[in-house]
Amino acid sequence: MNGKADIALIGLAVMGQNLILNMDEKGFVVCAYNRTVTKVKEFLSNEAKGTKVIGAESLKDMVDKLKTPRKIMLLVKAGTAVDDFIHQLVPLLSAGDVVIDGGNSEYQDTSRRCNELAKLGLLYVGSGVSGGEEGARHGPSLMPGGHEAAWPLIKPIFQAICAKVNGEPCCEWVGDGGAGHFVKMVHNGIEYGDMQLICEAYHIMQSLGLSAPQMAEEFEKWNAAELDSFLIEITRDILNYKDSQGHLLERIRDSAGQKGTGKWTAIAALHYGVPVTLIGEAVYARCLSVLKDERMFASRRLKGPETQATVVNQAQFLDDIKQALYCAKIVSYAQGFMLMREAAKENKWTLNYGGIALMWRGGCIIRSGFLGNIKEAYTRQPTLTNLLLDDFFRCAIEKGQASWRTVVSSAFCWGIPVPALSTALSFYDGYRSAKLPANLLQAQRDYFGAHTYELLGQEGKFVHTNWTGTGGNVSASTYQA
């Protein structure tokens, strides 16, 4: 007998529960299941009380309650838990059924699972889900990829529950295999970068002696201008937050956690040979923050500049910080889109970069008005190789780069670490350079390892020089690592 549920969702942690309630609110019948079955009963008796949500006591019970073709979404811990559930589900499913992984799985795992389930006639989707608890409940950003034949089956549900911007859904098909999870991974990497840039701006303002309310006021102004975004907005709220002991922020230990997606982005950047330097520095900044005890010891032993952070015109310098943050943010997104472009080339994905920017405009953690400018850039030029070359962003950096350089150089002179702001500036200067000192690097490699080099005007011809007169003329193989 054909069941009555439109979709099943496995995993009743906060995200799973809120997605179920979101689907129910949009008119879909959801079957809820959790490995610990008592959680299903508790959910139905509390959060889901009065809804159309139904529960299942086993995977077979869940499968039996689904309309065909069956659609099952997993919201469980990435890794072996996903494989374990798939292994248990496969014998219960029929050809054409859809399995969706909505967790933060590594994109290579998603590609592997797509290939394995395709042999069994099952459709597999790896979907990025962004927005946290609030987004899951009221409209997340969704980034589905995998077997494209699954898209018409899940599209009505996904586009109903996702966030909307100007009536447009923040969800569209991304691409084959692990494309959806790759795009979500890059999203999270950019999130790391955005957060680190904001932290550096906060650190500079704090060093200048601004109080929490003064900083909150500044972030309020920024949020009404170019930096309009969720992360700027919540930074304002955090700075304003007070409890019985005063402003809470200054009592929070300065040791940052991470769940790995930023690190995965940095690893992918190294794998594909793309200089995603800002996200890498954001990851390293979190790693450095964790060395709290070492830093406390070092702070008593290592000396920095004696110059105190001070400026003649505070209002002007605060505007400089805003411009520096905006310019570095442009570089961060440019690097993220460079990485997606290179991965798409290698994996033969057809990614819609303007569509990805639109998916990120609402529901997700990095949502901002800025993403509308990225969408417009790719609408103007779908084959754009780098966001920095778009007229809008090129002009924005031309306008703000003097401020950017002032902020970075001042921070260096004051001994304030600005790894993300500074690496973004170094990337910009490197990218705009017609000539870099890599000619010397190539000569060094050839000198000690006979790795060869190309001469200007003779590209494609690799030659070796016997630099010492004693090394011989045999060269090593030419390769790219």
Q: How far is the CA of 117 from the CAs of 68, 120, 143, 427, in angstroms? A: 17, 5, 20, 42
Active-site residue, 191 included: yes
Task: Consult the annotation and say whether 301 binds a ligand.
Answer: no
Cβ–Cβ under 8 Å, residues 266 and 189? yes
Nearest CA to 201 out of 411, 8, 344, 40 is that of: 411
Task: Consult the annotation and say whether 35 binds a ligand.
Answer: yes
Task: Consult the annotation and say whether 451 binds a ligand.
Answer: yes
Task: Consult the annotation and say whether 307 binds a ligand.
Answer: no
Task: Consult the annotation and say whether 352 binds a ligand.
Answer: no
Task: Consult the annotation and say whether 387 binds a ligand.
Answer: no
Q: According to the 3-state scheme, what is the secondary structure of the chain? A: CCCCECEEEECCCHHHHHHHHHHHHCCCCEEEECCCHHHHHHHHHCCCCCCCCEECCCHHHHHHCECCCCEEEECCCCCHHHHHHHHHHHHHCCCCCEEEECCCCCHHHHHHHHHHHHCCCCEEEEEEEECHHHHHHHCCEEEEEECHHHHHHHHHHHHHHCCEECCEECECCCEECCHHHHHHHHHHHHHHHHHHHHHHHHHHHHHCCCCHHHHHHHHHHHHCCCCCEHHHHHHHHHHHCEECCEECHHHCCCCCCCCCHHHHHHHHHHHHCCCCHHHHHHHHHHHHHHCHHHHHHHHCCCCCCCCCCCCCCHHHHHHHHHHHHHHHHHHHHHHHHHHHHHHHHHHCCCCCHHHHHHHCCCCCCCCECHHHHHHHHHHHCCCCCCHHHCHHHHHHHHHHHHHHHHHHHHHHHHCCCCHHHHHHHHHHHHHCCCCCCHHHHHHHHHHHHCCCEECCCCCCCEECCCCCCCCCCCCCCCCCC
Task: Consult the annotation and say whether 131 binds a ligand.
Answer: yes
Task: Consult the annotation and say whether 259 binds a ligand.
Answer: yes
Task: Consult the annotation and say whether 132 binds a ligand.
Answer: yes
Cα–Cα distance for residue pair 5/18, rounded to 1 Å: 17
Task: Consult the annotation and say whether 104 binds a ligand.
Answer: yes
Task: Consult the annotation and say whether 280 binds a ligand.
Answer: no
Task: Consult the annotation and say whether 14 binds a ligand.
Answer: yes
Which is the catalytic residue, given 65, 71, 106, 191?
191
Task: Consult the annotation and say whether 167 binds a ligand.
Answer: no
Q: Which residue has the tokens 């996200």?
A: 279
Task: Consult the annotation and say whether 34 binds a ligand.
Answer: yes
Which is the catalytic residue, given 39, 65, 71, 184?
184
Task: Consult the annotation and say whether 186 binds a ligand.
Answer: no
Active-site residue, 133 included: no
Cα–Cα distance for residue pair 481/469, rounded to 1 Å: 28
Task: Consult the annotation and say whether 77 binds a ligand.
Answer: yes
Structure tokens at 400: 């703000």
Task: Consult the annotation and say whether 187 binds a ligand.
Answer: yes
Task: Consult the annotation and say whether 361 binds a ligand.
Answer: no
Task: Consult the annotation and say whether 303 binds a ligand.
Answer: no
Binding-site residues for NADP(+), in ranges, read: 11-16, 34-36, 76-78, 104
List, by residue number, the catalytic residues: 184, 191
Binding-site residues, in ranges, read: 11-16, 34-36, 76-78, 104, 130-132, 187-188, 192, 259, 286, 445, 451
Binding-site residues for substrate, in ranges, read: 104, 130-132, 187-188, 192, 259, 286, 445, 451
